[in-house]
């Protein structure tokens, strides 16, 4: 007897699970010199998992399993595709970094794929327990990955800080979830949506939703739950930092999307004020702190906090006016574009570090004179992060402001003004790196001899640059994905 | 916004409870210190060794191996109660699950986590260490941290 399993619907997850096992087994048998082949196996698995995502998207419709706890619909497919693509780029970034490092290779890819599996389950999870298990599957492997350079105290610090904060946020979130279950009598978001408006204990419901969201706020590094981010991002291996800042963060946002829109949308008083404060604080503090950074990884860490604040803006206005649909679209589209441009920026940082072994912004001086192609690409990614047309970042900002305008309430307007001012502030620190690259002389410590950049790294940069340019000029591609995700 | 009052109230209560507990125990508790009371573990037994002793990291590996078995039992037990209803499907599903749980054991064996004491020494004398421990990779965040890296 098959208790309602739809194997087509969970085919992507099955393929990734099988890949995890194959990579781990293969790692036992490969000779040390041939360990790099585990990365090829992992890449094949990620690409193979995209096939059922495409066939499911072509078939369309909504598939449910496990009593509605696991749903495959256009929204989950769009984000599963995003996570697979981001993991593919991360694999490209990691291959040579991990290969050169004399490090356990098989384990690295196993952990990376396990985290990816959690993200894929998260897109389909419509149940508090499933969401929690998916979130832990995302987090626990990344605790280990953050400490991958285990002989470097900074990497140890990164892992320990990330681990402690992760465990603390899980505990807080579980506390909130248990209160939600006690008030609504269900862990299914569908049932919670029906029961939440009817509960007489509104104050307790606010506490419950607030604590649940605080757990995710740690995950998406929203201010004031961000203090682990710069140290963890700086200490972790740079490909892992790219993975944390894009995939892991998007995993937290996906969980927030599901909980806010499918669970508590009918009771906006419980989550809107808290998310408003988180969004405003993240934008202000993230952007202002980024101004003062001298290390590019730390600057990108604060920039990712600030970008997280921009992604939180549509959440904070979702229930006002007629912004429900456009804010859902805005979050999805912003996540897709943010992924491409942030991974691209980190890819250039990794390529540059192969040359100089440095991440100080001052060592980027004169990059435009001896490596113009890299300088151009870095400029593209940074200006896209700043939101300058015709690069993809402007469209992300555009959909974000559209949701604010659709909301039209005073609170939304104030948040929109903060977002606009902070977008201008962001130009300063992104342009500072651009100015360093193009208008400053080459510092003495940097050897401007050309360095062989591995093919995989070039491919990663190329993919990200192509997406940033194509979506910037022809944003209908991602706009359509956002529309489909929001329900046709 | 008014509805957030309970949260603030709760935070205030938490801090009040901690503060009151500290102050009350400081004011009300009689103070008669002696050496037994000030030992780290006040349980009446004189400590034999200093607590800050190194102990083998293998204990953690044993704990993790235990968790694998624990998970297996947690899922096998409910499966047995519905074994007949699930039929062949359940048998295949549990087969896949148990196979998946075997892999961590294969992994533990491969990294030498279960080869303790003289066995491990003889093994590594015979075929060499199963895994190399890591050197350093270049670190973009700390340029001076990795002098021995030459490969890039």
Number of independent structural domains in chain A: 1
Per-domain residue ranges for chain B? 58-127
Q: Please name the residues between 376 and 435 in chain A that touch chain B, using a CB distance below 8 Å.
A: none
Q: Please name the residues between 135 and 154 in chain A that touch chain B, using a CB distance below 8 Å.
A: 149-152, 154
The tens digit of pLDDT for each residue in A253-271 reads 999 999 999 999 888 888 8
Mark out the alpha helices in A105-199 (DSSP H runs).
105-124, 128-146, 153-184, 189-195
A244 neighbors A195 (Cβ within 8 angstroms): no
Tokens of A187: 């862990």
What pLDDT band is residue A290 in, cutting at 50, 70 and 90? very high
Interface contact A356-B143, CB threshold 8 A: yes
How much is the average pLDDT of A149-162? 88
Please give the Cα distance from A381 to A344 (Å, whole number).
6
How much is the average pLDDT of A246-258? 93
Where is average pLDDT lowest: A119-128, A348-357, B87-96? A348-357
Interface contact B110-A358, CB threshold 8 A: no
* Closest to A180 measured CA to CA, from A146, A211, A217, A152: A211
Query: Residues of A with CB below 8 A from B140's CB?
Result: 238, 297, 349-350, 352-353, 357-359
Q: Please name the residues between 11 and 40 in chain B that touch chain A, using a CB distance below 8 Å.
A: none
H or E element that contains A17: helix A11-29
Interface contact A207-B7, CB threshold 8 A: yes
Q: Is the backbone peptide bond immediately before A224 cis, with ω within 30 degrees of 0?
A: yes
Mean pLDDT of chain A: 88
What pLDDT band is residue B116 in, cutting at 50, 70 and 90? low
Res B141: pLDDT: 39
Query: Residues of A with CB below 8 A from B60's CB?
Result: none
Extract the runs of DSSP E, i.e. beta strands, from A157-278. none
The tens digit of pLDDT for each residue in A233-242 reads 998 989 999 9
How much is the average pLDDT of A108-122? 94
* Closest to A21 measured CA to CA, from B94, B134, B97, B90: B97
Res B132: pLDDT: 37
Res B151: pLDDT: 38
Res B115: pLDDT: 66
The tens digit of pLDDT for each residue in A430-460 reads 999 999 888 888 887 777 777 778 888 889 9
What's the domain range around A281?
271-488
Query: Residues of B with CB below 8 A from A353's CB?
Result: 138, 140
How much is the average pLDDT of A335-357? 89
Res B152: pLDDT: 35
Res B140: pLDDT: 36
Q: Within an 8 Å CB–CB cutoff, is residue A109 touching chain B?
A: no
Interface contact B3-A202, CB threshold 8 A: yes
SS3 state at A188: strand
Where is average pLDDT lowest: A318-327, A335-344, B127-136? B127-136
Q: Which residue in the set A152, A203, A204 is minimally distant from B136, CB to CB?
A: A152
Higher pLDDT residue, A285 or B149? A285
Contacts of B70 (CB under 8 A, 6+ apart): none
pLDDT at residue A200 tops 60? yes
Please give the Cα distance from A43 to A92 (Å, whole number).
8
Res A356: pLDDT: 75
Q: Within an 8 Å CB–CB cutoff, is residue A278 touching chain B?
A: no
- The answer, yes or no, to whether ipTM is higher than 0.85 is no
Query: Residues of B with CB below 8 A from A27's CB?
Result: 110
**Segment A188-193 long-range contacts (CB within 8 Å, at least 24 positions apart):** A188/A67, A188/A68, A188/A69, A188/A126, A188/A127, A188/A128, A189/A126, A189/A127, A189/A128, A189/A258, A189/A259, A189/A262, A189/A263, A190/A68, A190/A126, A190/A262, A192/A128, A192/A263, A192/A264, A193/A262, A193/A263, A193/A264, A193/A265, A193/A266
Q: Please name the residues between 279 and 308 in chain A that touch chain B, using a CB distance below 8 Å.
A: 295, 297
Tokens of A411: 């609170």
Higher pLDDT residue, B136 or B45? B45
DSSP state of A71: E
Q: Which residue in the set B89, B139, B145 is minimally distant from A1, CB to CB?
A: B89
Tokens of A361: 């912004």
Q: In 10 A of CB A432, how many CB atoms?
A: 18
Contacts of B58 (CB under 8 A, 6+ apart): B113, B116
A279 inside domain: yes
Res B121: pLDDT: 59
The tens digit of pLDDT for each residue in A375-412 reads 899 999 999 999 888 899 999 999 999 999 998 888 89
Interface contact B3-A104, CB threshold 8 A: no
Res B147: pLDDT: 39
Please give the Cα distance from A51 to A61 (Å, whole number).
17
A47 inside domain: no
SS3 state at A318: coil
Res A32: pLDDT: 57
Res B134: pLDDT: 36
Res A3: pLDDT: 64
């Amino acid at each position: 007897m098959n208790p309602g399993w739809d194997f087509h619907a969970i085919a992507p997850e099955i393929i990734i699970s099988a890949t995890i096992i194959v990579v781990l087994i293969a790692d036992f048998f490969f000779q040390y010199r041939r360990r790099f082949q585990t990365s090829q196996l992992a890449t094949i698995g990620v690409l193979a998992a995209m096939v059922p995502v495409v066939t499911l998207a072509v078939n369309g419709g909504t598939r449910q399993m496990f009593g509605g706890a696991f749903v495959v619909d256009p929204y989950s497919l769009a984000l599963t595709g995003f996570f697979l693509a981001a993991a593919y780029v991360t694999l490209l970034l990691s291959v040579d970094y991990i290969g050169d490092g004399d490090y356990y290779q098989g384990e690295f890819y196993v952990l990376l794929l396990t985290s990816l599996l959690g993200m894929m389950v998260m897109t389909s999870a419509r149940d508090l327990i499933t969401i929690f298990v998916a979130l832990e599957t995302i987090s626990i492997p990344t605790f280990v990955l953050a400490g991958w350079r285990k002989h470097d105290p900074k990497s140890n610090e990164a892992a320990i800080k990330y681990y402690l904060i992760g465990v603390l946020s899980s505990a807080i979130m579980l506390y909130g979830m248990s209160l939600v279950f006690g008030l609504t009598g269900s862990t299914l978001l569908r049932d919670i949506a029906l029961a939440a408006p009817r509960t007489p204990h509104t104050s307790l419901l606010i506490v419950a939703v607030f604590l649940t969201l605080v757990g995710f706020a740690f995950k998406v590094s929203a201010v004031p739950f961000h203090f682990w981010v710069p140290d963890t991002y700086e200490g972790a291996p740079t490909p892992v930092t790219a993975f944390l800042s894009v995939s892991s963060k998007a995993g937290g946002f996906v969980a927030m999307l599901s909980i806010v829109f499918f669970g508590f949308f009918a009771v906006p008083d419980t989550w809107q004020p808290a998310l408003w404060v988180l969004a405003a604080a993240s934008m202000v503090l993230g952007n202002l702190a980024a101004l003062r950074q001298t290390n590019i990884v730390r600057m990108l860490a604060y920039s990712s906090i600030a970008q997280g604040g921009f992604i939180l803006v549509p959440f904070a206005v979702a229930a006002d006016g007629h912004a429900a649909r456009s804010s859902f679209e805005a979050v999805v589209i912003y996540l897709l574009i943010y992924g491409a441009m942030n991974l691209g920026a980190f890819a250039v940082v990794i390529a540059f570090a192969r040359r100089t072994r440095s991440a100080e912004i001052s060592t980027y001086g004169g990059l435009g004179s001896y490596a113009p192609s890299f300088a151009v690409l870095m400029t593209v990614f940074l200006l896209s992060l700043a939101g300058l047309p015709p690069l993809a970042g402007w469209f992300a900002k555009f959909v974000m402001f559209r949701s604010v305008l659709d909301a039209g309430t005073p609170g939304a307007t104030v948040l929109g003004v903060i977002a606009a001012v902070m977008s201008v502030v962001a130009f300063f620190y992104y342009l500072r790196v651009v100015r360093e690259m193009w208008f400053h002389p080459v510092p003495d410590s940097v050897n401007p001899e050309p360095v062989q950049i591995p093919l995989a790294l070039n491919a990663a940069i190329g993919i990200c640059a192509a997406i940033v340019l194509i979506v910037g000029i022809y944003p209908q591609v991602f706009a359509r994905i956002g529309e489909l995700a929001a329900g046709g | 916004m008014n509805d957030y009052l309970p949260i603030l109230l709760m935070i205030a209560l938490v801090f009040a409870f901690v503060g009151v507990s500290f102050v009350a125990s400081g004011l009300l508790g009689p103070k008669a210190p002696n050496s037994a009371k000030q030992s780290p573990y006040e349980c009446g037994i004189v400590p034999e060794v200093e607590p800050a002793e190194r102990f083998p990291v293998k204990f953690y590996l044993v704990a993790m191996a235990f968790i694998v078995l624990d998970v297996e039992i947690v899922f096998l037990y409910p499966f047995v109660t519905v074994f007949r209803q699930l039929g062949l499907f359940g048998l295949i599903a549990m087969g896949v699950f148990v196979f998946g749980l075997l892999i961590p054991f294969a992994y533990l064996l491969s990294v030498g986590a279960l080869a303790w004491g003289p066995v491990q020494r003889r093994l590594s004398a015979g075929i060499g260490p199963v895994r190399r421990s890591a050197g350093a990779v270049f670190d973009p965040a700390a340029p001076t941290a990795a002098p021995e890296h030459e490969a890039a």
